[in-house]
Amino acid sequence: MKRRQFLRMMTALGASSATGMLLPKQSVASEADLEVVLAAVKDRIPVLPGQPTGVWRYQGEVIKGDPGQLQNLPNSWLGPTFRVQKGQRVRIRFRNRIPQESIIHWHGLHVAPENDGHPRLAVPSGEEYVYDFTVDNRAGSYWYHPHPHGLTGYQVYGGMAGLFLITDKEEQGLGLPSGAYDLPLVIQDRSFDAQNQLVYVRSPMERMNGFLGDRIMLNGRADRKVSVKGGAYRLRLLNGSNSRICRLAWSDGRMLQIIGTDGGLLERPLQVPDIMLGPAERVDLWADFGDMRKDSRVSLLSIPFRSGGGHRGMMGRRSGLVLGSRYELARFRVVSRGTGPSRPPEHLARVEKLVPKDAVNAEHPKRFLLEMRHMQPTINGRTFRMSEVAPDEMVRLGQTEIWEFVNTGGMMSMPHPMHIHGLSFQVLGRSGGPGYRFLDEGWKDSVLVMPGERVAVIMRFKDHKGMYLYHCHNLEHEDLGMMRNYLVRDQ
């Protein structure tokens, strides 16, 4: 880290932080289990037939530790997939080589504020920011992406995103499908011009609604075909789209076997015919191709739903891939004979249950109104200010709180996928919405709040003091300022 950044970081942290990060650099360096250089670069990659596509993406290199912990995806704009073990100490040198300021946020990770990628920590083009943290989350599928204020949607759209997969002893003891049978599937939508170049938002209206592309991309590639062997797979789905919501279902009508959500494995598998998957949400599926014949096919689809408010009608005209219509996300072809049907373990993992009586505000949950005001998405009427924290955005270290996100509904209302940094929460309940099946199980960090709906979540603020974000993960909404700080203070 350059001295200037370090000083800036110190200032940003202020006197309130007493974390272990601010050790002399030398003593930190020697202790990392995995050290990685992760550069944000401009690149051109083959995406569609014909001209290569200009992208911005992350390029990684292991400089200390096991090189196998970083998996580069060929011909993809996605950054390398991290595979780390809970308890490992990782040190990541982010080198900003794109012509904009940037910073990396580790989505879902429970890390100290200086490792969280708050926009106030963004570094200019040409500079470096060093992350150093011990992986403390449960096993699960997390991810990383840029977080500079006002530029997040643009940079993620350009290709900057990657997976951060964590495993732990409990998960390893289960013998879930692994290696080639552990298959991440990142769903994103994009539009291209006639020269194969990415097209982003073209109008204020499009920005207000959230960008919708006219084709689905899988793992940063145009090819949505996946060859699988006739056995059981763990499919780790991430909706990495800027604003697109999917309603997942299998094309042959079989049930979705959900084994995990944002923050890792559920207590037991859950069988549902379909599930809503909002931006930034993850779902782990047990997919059994073991009783399928060689060369047979099955697809994961997004099936019809209504997104409500003004969103639906407008988007219907604007996008080649109408939000809430029926389209394919991934097509699986079975390339070898099946090994027979199989089921996920009946008990997957321990999930500590947070209950309302643990919350200091059980009688008076904090309420956050999600509202469009004159084309401006707001939270309790407010928008983002770099270091502003309102009284109702202050919480105490060690305490548990209930927050209620209230989508006020009405003509202009649209879905808001709400995300809280630095922790995992649990969904206590939802009401007033369209009644679809949502990913409300297990540990979560992002939750879809539909027009007219209220969703209550419960969380504990532990280990780290300081400033974190909560925001709408419709990245255009986030960039428009539908984001706020919350501050974890001393007991």
Which residues of this chain interact with ligand C2O, rule CB under 6 A?
105, 107, 145, 147, 280, 419, 421, 469, 471, 473
For 212, 270, 358, 456, the CA distances from 241, given in Å and listed in that order, are 8, 25, 35, 24
| CB nearer Cu ion, residue 266 or residue 418 | 418
Given the complex with ligand C2O, which of 224 and 421 has the nearer CB atom? 421
Binds 147, which of Cu ion, ligand C2O, none (CB < 5 to 8 A, cut-off by type)? ligand C2O
User: In this chain, which of 118, 244, 311, 421 binds Cu ion, going by CB under 5 A?
Assistant: 421
> Least distance from C-beta 347 to Cu ion, angstroms?
29
Cβ neighbours of residue 377 closer than 8 Å, sequence gap 6 or more: 208, 370, 371, 416, 472, 474, 477, 480, 481, 482
Q: Which is nearer to Cu ion, 334 or 457 (CB)?
A: 457
Which residue, 171 or 262, is less far from ligand C2O as judged by CB? 262
Backbone angles phi, psi at 448, to 5 degrees: -80, 130
For ligand C2O, the closer CB: 224 or 471: 471
Q: CB nearer to Cu ion: give 416 or 464.
A: 416
The DSSP H or E segment spanning 371 is: strand 366-373
398: left (phi over 0), alpha (psi -120 to 50) or beta: left
Neighbours of 5 (CB within 10 A): 16
User: Min. distance of Cβ 354 from ligand C2O in angstroms?
Assistant: 22
In terms of CB distance, is 2 or 385 closer to ligand C2O? 385
Least Å distance, CB 334 to ligand C2O, is: 34
> In whole angstroms, how far apart are CA 294 and each of 78, 289, 339?
30, 10, 11
Q: Does 474 bind Cu ion (CB under 5 A)?
A: yes
Shortest Cβ 122–Cu ion spacing (Å): 15
Name residues contacting Cu ion, limited to 89-108 (CB under 5 A).
107
471 contact, one of Cu ion, ligand C2O, none, CB 5-8 Å limit per kind? ligand C2O
Q: Please choose which of ligand C2O, Cu ion, none residue 472 contacts, taking the beta carbon within 5 to 8 angstroms, the exact cut-off set by kind.
A: Cu ion
CB of 116 to ligand C2O, least distance (A): 9
Complete edge-to-edge strand list for the sheet that includes strand 128-134? 53-64, 34-45, 89-96, 128-134
Shortest approach of ligand C2O to residue 400 CB, angstroms? 22
- Amino acid type, 382: R
Residue 367: beta bridge partners? 404
The entry of ligand C2O, Cu ion, none that residue 474 binds, CB within 5 to 8 Å by partner kind: Cu ion
When the beta carbons of 80 and 119 are compared against ligand C2O, the nearer one is 119
Closer CB to ligand C2O, 105 or 430, in the complex:
105
CA-CA distances (angstroms) from residue 383 to 40, 366, 480? 28, 17, 8
The number of angstroms, rounded, from the C-alpha of 120 to the middle of its chain's C-alpha atoms is 20
- Beta-carbon contacts of 93 under 8 Å, excluding residues fewer than 6 positions away, are 35, 36, 37, 38, 128, 129, 130, 131
As measured in angstroms, the least distance from the Cβ of 109 to ligand C2O is 10
Tokens of residue 472, six digits: 């709408």
What are the structure tokens assigned to 318, written together? 């604007």
Helix (DSSP H) and strand (DSSP E) numbers for the chain: 7, 30
Residue 416: contacted member of ligand C2O, Cu ion, none (CB under 5 to 8 Å, by partner type)? Cu ion
By Cβ distance, which residue is nearest to ligand C2O?
107
CA atoms within 13 A on the CB side of 140: 30
469 binds, among ligand C2O, Cu ion, none (CB under 5 to 8 A by kind): ligand C2O
> 433 to 472, contacts with Cu ion by CB under 5 A?
472
CA distance 340 to 288: 9
Distance of closest approach, residue 105 Cβ to ligand C2O, in angstroms: 5
Q: Report the distance separating Cα 4 and Cα 229, nearest Å.
A: 52
- Contact map string, positions 334 to 363, toward Cu ion, x by CB under 5 A: ------------------------------
Which residues are at the interface with Cu ion (CB under 5 A)? 107, 416, 421, 472, 474, 477
